[in-house]
Amino acid sequence: MGGFDLSFVNAEVIHKFVLNGFLFSLQLTAVATFGGVVLGTVLALMRLSGQRLLALPATVYVNTMRSVPLVMVILWFFLLVPSIIGRPVGAEASAVITFIAFEAAYFSEIMRAGIQSIPRGQVMAGMALGMSYGQNMRLVVLPQAFRNMLPVLLTQTIILFQDTSLVYAIGAYDLLKGLTTAGKIYGRPEEAYILAAGIYFVLCFSLSWLVKQLQARVAIVR
């Protein structure tokens, strides 16, 4: 086998194995972030509604998801959903459903903190102007909550991108799967894993640095 050797990584390998996996990882991150934020915002509003019939199920859902390892949730959805709907679900589709459902619990807590960070006086002012609860939330509270929580939302998105590597457990073709497949074919599995770790590190470290810069700018504007 020889020493450490990355010579198997060339344009053909990147195009044939790595690119598709990387694009799926990005797509999964984008879709799960959007779906997770939307569902998470709904869950946050349910918990803050003051109505037990809405707050209780939302609280149970969020606490349950946050108390279970993601890899277990991935396996549960992959194995249970086909038996519930009566037909097979592909690994990629199962991964999308899982990540939206799981990440919504974390985005919910972020959005709940963001909503609670808005001064109560602004909410009262909106009510004094004749705004309904929905209008107040849509026009006054949520825009400011999103702005306040943007660095935290982006940080959670970076964590989400890292977590996409867990879909390897159900055979979804992500960045890690593409690299390890190439490594096995060319007899360099160890190098493939190290290269994958390096790519994740460079991407996530760079994005984390950008988020810190954004957080500093947001703090200055405040």
Res 42 pLDDT > 90: yes
Contact 103, 161 (CB under 8 A): no
Domain assignment of residue 100, yes or no: yes
Residue 29: per-residue pLDDT: 96
Give the domain range for residue 121: 27-176
Residue 56: per-residue pLDDT: 96
Domain assignment of residue 143, yes or no: yes
pLDDT digits (tens, 9 = 90+) for 70-81: 999 999 889 887
Res 221 pLDDT > 60: no
* Angle of CA points 113, 60, 68, to nearest 5°: 90
Res 64 pLDDT > 80: yes
Res 218 pLDDT > 80: no
Domain assignment of residue 88, yes or no: yes
Domain assignment of residue 109, yes or no: yes
**Quick one: tokens of 19?**
């690119």
Residue 53: per-residue pLDDT: 93
Number of domains in the chain: 1
Domain assignment of residue 209, yes or no: no
Where does the pLDDT of residue 188 fall: very low under 50, low under 70, confident under 90, or very high at 90 and above?
Answer: confident
Domain assignment of residue 189, yes or no: no
Average pLDDT over residues 106-121: 89
Domain assignment of residue 205, yes or no: no
Residue 124 sits in a domain whose CATH number is: 1.10.3720.10
CA distances from 145 to 58, 104, 154 (A): 19, 16, 14
Average pLDDT over residues 94-116: 93
Domain assignment of residue 126, yes or no: yes
The verdict on pTM exceeding 0.85 is yes
Nearest by Cα to 36 from 125, 130, 164: 164
Mean pLDDT computed over every residue of the chain: 88
